[in-house]
Structure 1
Amino acid sequence: MSSLIPPYCELKGEEIVAGLRGIAVDPRDFVAYWVYLSTRDPFAVLVATLLSQHSTDRKALEVYRRLVQVVKNLSPASFLNCEEQELAEILRPVGLHRRKAKLLRTLAREVVDFDLKALSNLPTFEARQRLLRLPGVGPKTADVLLLHLGHPLFPVDTHIARITWRLSWAKRPCYEEIQKVWMELFSPEDYQEAHLRLIQWGREICQARKPRCFTCFLRICCSFAKEGGGLKNSFWYNGG
């Protein structure tokens, strides 16, 4: 068990996974996961993840489907053949549409001659460093893709960060520290399921404004719940 997890918490990783199974997960609520299941295409997963930044997964999925109709196969070359203004109009519903249109074309230019599927055969650290050098790709975006490609990584989004912070399992609201907590707690074979279910738990139970602590099985080891909630409702987090 991670040294950051307090000794009074007797829940083990597999018990937390079992508890999280009390919440339903719909792949359509996770645009990158849905796109991976539908295409097995790493570039399409990158596109989907970038669309979801500063937007909801449902809205990003709607825009992704529109992109498939207009840009067709969503290859890097197809993005380069699409006018930036036309692309921006398609992306308008997910916000920051001009910035994202420019970013997607820049990303396409960087990877047009790069086989992203080859990342699955590289050591995890090297594959991650290569992705982090790409425009618009931060730690979360890189980890989402690499997890789908079979690398033992645990992406952290704002919901997972909030849950960790409320549990007091991280000393700092830092991506790497939060990630380390869950990677030490769970077995690698549970990373994908636990990642998705924790996000959904944050959406439905450990909500930002009105957390439903009374329905949460984690309340037995949660500092936030023990203090009655409300005292730690805000925290700094920066992923990408």
Structure 2
Amino acid sequence: MARRLPQGAAYQAVQREILARIRDKTWPPGALIPGEIDLAAEFGCARATISRAMRELAEAGVLERKRRAGTRVAANPVRRAMLDIPMVRQQVTDTGRAYGHDLLFRAVEPPPEAIRARLGLRPGTAALHARSLHRADGRPFQVEDRWINLDAVPEAVSVDLAAISANEWLVREVPLSTAETMLSAAAATEVEAALLGCPPGAPLLEIERTTWLGDLPITTVRLLHPPGFRVVGRV
């Protein structure tokens, strides 16, 4: 049965529907998906809306588009995504230390205004909020305070974030194409100090990152590292 999106639906709504069909295996890896004209008729929107949605998904590595051959779901859409987000588990194990993590908090709730703006959510819309402590050889390595846009990634609500961290699940399962990252120093609150094993007021490395697939906001996160943590990069 044809599914019509709301009248005048933006291309982000088309992207969400395409991604949902890929994830639920309606369109498995390698599958040929309907053309722009057919999808425009099914969804009840302009062909230009379909074209933009599919173009961005192709740029992110989710779809493969070939002239005269049509559009297919990429054989491995996650690994072909253009953005490389660090997986905390790998950051720890690459240094020879044992990795562990504790889920501290999980709730589906409306985010504060600043988070809502980053995720492009309407007032009152709920998102998945999760807070975790990552460990290296049993010692605090990072506090992760994350919000996930459930309009974009509805299946996140059923993920067991005690078994797999939100960071690891997103890196493995959700393609991302762009990110905005801010680094700053923050003074540890009493709660943060207790989690990271440092005195209150100690300087922490704070990393704030918001990630998108095309123009569709997926997640925003605040990461805190204890004193002495170093960022190492290679160009």
Is the strand fraction higher in 1 or 2?
2
| TM-score bracket for the superposition, by shorter chain length | under 0.3
Using the size of structure 1 for normalisation, the TM-score is 0.24
Structure showing greater Rg? 2
- Structure showing greater relative contact order (alpha-carbon pairs closer than 8 Å, 6 or more residues apart): 1
Is the helix fraction higher in 1 or 2?
1
